[in-house]
Amino acid sequence: MYRQIPLDVEYTFNDNLIYEIDKDGLITFANLKFCEVVGYRRSELIGKNHTVFKHPDVPQTIYDNICIESKKLRRWFFTLKNIRRDGMFFWSNIHCTPRYNDINELIGFIIVHKPASKLDIEEENQRYKNYN
C-alpha cells in the first residue's frame, strides 16, 4: 500500500465500522462498511498494519500511547482522525476490546469506529495542537 496524500475534505459516515487486528496490529477482519468508508477492498486490508489509516495530523505520540494502552490488555476509547485511501479524512470514536482464544490467551483486538461528535472533534483537535 502507498501513503495517501491528505486532502482537506471530510468524509462522514453513520454506521458502526468494525475490524479486527492480531497482537502485531495486522488486520485479520474488516466488515463491509469499514471497507467502504476507508476505500479499500477487504482483500487489500487483510494482513496490512492498521496504521495505514493514521492521518498525518495525528501526532505519533498519540499512536504510541494507543499501543501502550493496548499492551495493558484492557479496553480503551479514543477519538481519532483517520485517513481514507483517497486522502479524505474521517473522525471516529474508537472502542478497542481485547480478543482471547479458548485458553484465555490474548490473540488480538476488536476495534469499532463510530461517528464522532463535533465536541469530540474539537477536543481532539485541541489535544493535537498541544502536542505540537
pLDDT at res. 77: 83
pLDDT at 1: 52
The strand pair at 17-22 and 76-83 is best described as: unpaired
45 residue type, one letter: L
pTM, entire model: 0.86
Looking at residue 86, what is its pLDDT?
95
pLDDT means over runs of 10, the chain (132 residues): 77 95 94 97 95 89 67 73 96 93 93 95 88 70
Which residue is listed with cell 495517501? 4
Neighbours of 108 (CB within 10 A): 20
Residue 78, Cα to own-chain centre: how many angstroms?
Answer: 9
Per-residue confidence (pLDDT) for residue 31, from 0 to 100? 97
Residue 45 near residue 27 (C-beta atoms within 8 A): yes
